[in-house]
C-alpha cells in the first residue's frame, strides 16, 4: 500500500470522527448539568467502571478527575463482582461507561448499586439501553459512525466518550475554582511539577557563587571574578550588596571596539547601570520567559535592592526546562 493511501485513510478517519465531535455539543444538556452538580457535591469518590476500550477511556477520565481535585478510582467490573465492590460506599457516585449500554459485567452490578442506594451516572450511545434505564442520569452520546471499515472497532465512540469525560472534569474543575497552585500540589513530578512548583530561590546561585565586585575594582579584577564564577557576568555592588550595575561578556566584547585603555580601566566606567531584577519567589518558568523576552542569560535576584542571588540560564538548563 502506498504512502498516499495511508494518508488518505488517516484523513478519512479524522473526517469521520470529526462529524461526531461536531455534534457532541448537542449532548451537553440538562442531564450533563445535573451530572456535573452531583460530581461537584459528591462527598465520596467517583468510581468509574467499564470493560475493554471503555475501560481504558474510564481510566483516563478517572485520572483527570483525580488530578483536578475530584477523588476518583477506576474499578474493573469483573473484579468488582469478585470482591472489589467493597471499595464502594454509599457516598460514592458510579460513572459507568458502555457504548452499547448492555455490557453484561456492568448489568450484573446494578442490583448492588440499587440496594445500597448508590448514585449511578452512565455514558452510552444507546438511548434505550438497559444501563441507561437504570441510571439516575444517562449521558447519551450520538455516534454517527465508527472510523473502521466494518463499523466495529471502537474509535469514534471512544473519542466522543473521552471528550464528554473531559467536559465533565473541566466543568467541575471550574466550579471548584481550581487554580494552577492547586494543580501543582497534585503534580510535583515531571515537567508539569517543575513549571508549577520550582521557584527562583530553588535554582539561583547564592553566597560565594555570586560573581560580584565593588565599583573601585579594575576591569582586570572583574574579569578574574567572571572567569572564576563561570556565569559570563558580574554584578557591581557595595559592601552591603546594594547593586550599582552589571557587566557581562557581551559588554566586554563591545569594550574591545572602543579606544578605552583596558589596562587602567575601572569597572565603574564600563558597567551597565541597574540590571534586570527579580524576586526569589518568582516561578522559575516565569524567569525563563523573562530571559527569552529580554534576550539575556542572567537575572539579578534582589531583596530591597540588595543582591541575594543570580539566576543564570544554565541553572534552568541543568534542571531540564529547555
Annotated binding site: 76
> Do 236 and 268 contact (CB within 8 A), yes or no?
yes
Supply 279's cell numbers: 524576586
Say if residues 155 and 161 touch (Cβ distance below 8 Å). Answer: no
The 3-state DSSP class for residue 217 equals coil
Binding site per annotation, positions for Zn(2+): 76
Residue count of the chain, please give it.
322
Residue 282, CA distances (Å) to 78, 123, 183, 267 in order: 49, 43, 17, 30
Q: How far is CA 283 from CA 6, 25, 94, 121, 135, in A?
A: 45, 37, 39, 40, 46
Helix-, strand-, coil-residue percentages of the chain, each rounded to 5: 50, 20, 35
DSSP H helices in 190-283 = 190-197, 200-203, 219-229, 249-255, 267-270
At a CB cut-off of 8 Å and minimum separation 6, what does 97 contact? 48, 49, 50, 54, 55, 57, 58, 61, 122, 123, 124, 161
SS3 12: helix
Rounded to 10°, the helix 156-175/30-41 angle is 60
Whole-number Å distance between alpha carbons of 189 and 201: 18
Q: Are 205 and 310 in contact (CB under 8 A)?
A: yes
Nearest to 319 by CA among 288, 296, 290: 288
Amino acid at each position: 500500500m502506498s504512502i498516499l493511501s495511508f494518508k488518505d485513510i488517516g484523513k478519512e478517519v479524522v473526517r469521520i470522527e470529526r462529524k461526531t465531535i461536531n455534534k457532541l455539543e448537542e449532548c451537553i444538556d440538562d442531564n450533563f448539568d445535573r451530572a456535573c452538580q452531583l460530581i461537584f457535591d459528591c462527598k465520596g469518590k467517583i468510581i468509574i467502571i467499564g470493560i475493554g476500550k471503555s475501560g481504558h477511556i474510564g481510566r483516563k477520565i478517572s485520572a483527570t478527575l483525580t488530578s483536578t481535585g475530584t477523588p476518583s478510582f477506576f474499578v474493573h467490573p469483573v473484579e468488582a463482582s469478585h470482591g472489589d465492590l467493597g471499595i464502594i460506599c454509599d457516598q460514592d457516585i458510579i460513572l459507568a461507561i458502555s457504548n452499547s449500554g448492555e455490557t453484561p459485567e456492568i448489568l450484573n452490578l446494578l442490583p448492588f448499586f440499587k440496594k445500597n442506594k448508590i448514585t449511578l451516572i452512565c455514558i452510552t450511545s444507546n438511548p434505550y439501553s438497559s444501563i441507561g434505564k437504570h441510571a439516575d442520569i444517562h449521558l447519551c452520546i450520538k455516534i454517527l459512525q465508527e472510523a473502521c471499515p466494518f463499523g466495529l472497532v471502537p474509535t469514534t465512540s471512544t473519542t466522543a466518550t473521552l471528550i464528554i469525560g473531559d467536559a465533565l472534569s473541566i466543568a467541575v474543575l471550574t466550579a471548584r475554582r481550581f487554580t494552577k497552585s492547586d494543580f501543582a500540589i497534585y503534580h510535583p513530578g515531571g515537567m508539569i511539577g517543575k513549571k508549577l512548583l520550582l521557584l527562583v530561590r530553588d535554582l539561583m546561585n547564592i553566597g560565594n557563587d555570586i560573581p560580584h565586585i565593588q565599583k573601585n575594582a579594575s576591569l582586570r579584577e572583574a574579569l578574574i571574578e567572571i572567569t572564576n564564577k563561570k556565569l559570563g557576568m558580574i554584578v557591581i555592588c557595595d559592601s552591603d550588596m546594594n547593586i550599582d550595575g552589571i557587566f557581562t561578556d557581551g559588554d566586554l566584547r563591545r569594550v574591545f571596539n572602543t579606544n578605552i585603555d583596558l589596562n587602567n580601566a575601572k569597572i565603574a566606567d564600563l558597567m551597565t547601570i541597574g540590571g534586570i531584577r527579580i524576586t526569589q519567589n518568582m516561578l522559575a518558568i516565569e524567569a525563563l520567559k523573562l530571559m527569552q523576552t529580554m534576550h539575556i542569560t542572567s537575572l539579578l535576584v534582589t531583596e530591597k535592592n540588595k543582591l541575594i542571588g543570580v539566576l543564570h540560564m544554565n541553572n534552568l538548563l541543568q534542571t531540564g526546562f529547555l
